[in-house]
Amino acid sequence: MPSPASKGIQTAQIGLLVNTVLAVVKLVAGLAGNAYVLVADAVESSADVFSSLVVWRGLHLASREADERYPFGYGKAEPLAAAVVSVMLLGAALGISLEAIREIRTPHHTPAPFTLAVLIGVIIVKEILYRRVFNVATEVSSTAVKADAWHHRSDAITSLAAFVGITIALLGGPGWESADDWAALLAAGVIAFNAIRLVRPAIDDLMDRSPGAGLLERVGAAAMATPDVRAIEKVRLRKVGFGYHLDLHVQTEPGMTLHNAHVLSGRVKAAIRAAVPEITAVLIHMEPYEL
């Protein structure tokens, strides 16, 4: 069965290929059809190419085993890649906004009708790609892959805005030539909103924010269900790569031998890993139980 990293890398590779093709198609169509919004869309697709490369590299690093240089592993490369992709989205939104404002202030020709057909194809391809990548991101619990998925959805949104803008320009006739530029400006706002929404979970993972109470409750239930465990405390979880690292203190009878306490810690670890597969590493500190 493919590993979470390999699944994420495969989606990044597919996205890289699709985005490269779409960027060229939209750039040519935009220049030939007098549609700046398509040119802006091509710029956004070019950013998608680089974001897929960042995700690809981030997932590759995150999948590496711990070594002497990084004894806790390379898992933080995954949320770091997500943060970089989110910043790239913000940059794309800013660039599109500036160019859209410039084009609004500059008279230009009405976009050509054939650009609508190009946009319909882009919307369909990008929405399919978004759904596929987002499903993989949910399956492997990857912040970076989810950010890449939203990059695809943002491209679909800008293309939809472009379709609406060009349609208005064509139907409105003289005086409505800049409708596609206003659509590009609106799409840039949507992209910026998504970028800000995506960067927050990436920062949470980088700062080792605790996951939701539900995961902690599952860990506690599995530990307390293990025979000879009297109490637990200091349960700490943090996201590392595609899983979670757990630290907790387990209390047992004060008279238990060191050997038996060691065996008990192994049973607790096995019970937690079986009940919560998302946890990839467990560190248990044994303590005497005291009322």
* Structural domains of the chain, ranges and CATH numbers in brackets: 4-206 (1.20.1510.10), 213-288 (3.30.70.1350)
- How far apart are alpha carbons 286 and 262 in whole angstroms? 8
Kindly report the number of other CB atoms within 10 A of residue 21's CB atom: 11
pLDDT in tens, 161-215: 778 878 887 887 777 767 777 877 887 887 788 788 778 888 888 887 877 778 8
User: Is pLDDT above 60 for 1?
Assistant: no
User: Is pLDDT above 70 for 253?
Assistant: yes
The strand pairing partners of 246, in sequence order, are 237, 282
pLDDT, residue 22, reads: 82
Residue 222's φ and ψ, nearest 5 degrees, are: -65, -40
The strand pairing partners of 245, in sequence order, are 238, 281
Confidence of residue 248 (pLDDT cuts 50, 70, 90): very high
pLDDT, residue 177, reads: 67
CB of 189 closer than 8 Å to CB of 93 = yes
pLDDT, residue 98, reads: 83
User: Is pLDDT above 60 for 35?
Assistant: yes
pTM: 0.67
Provide mean pLDDT across the span 251-259: 88
- How far apart are alpha carbons 41 and 27 in whole angstroms? 8
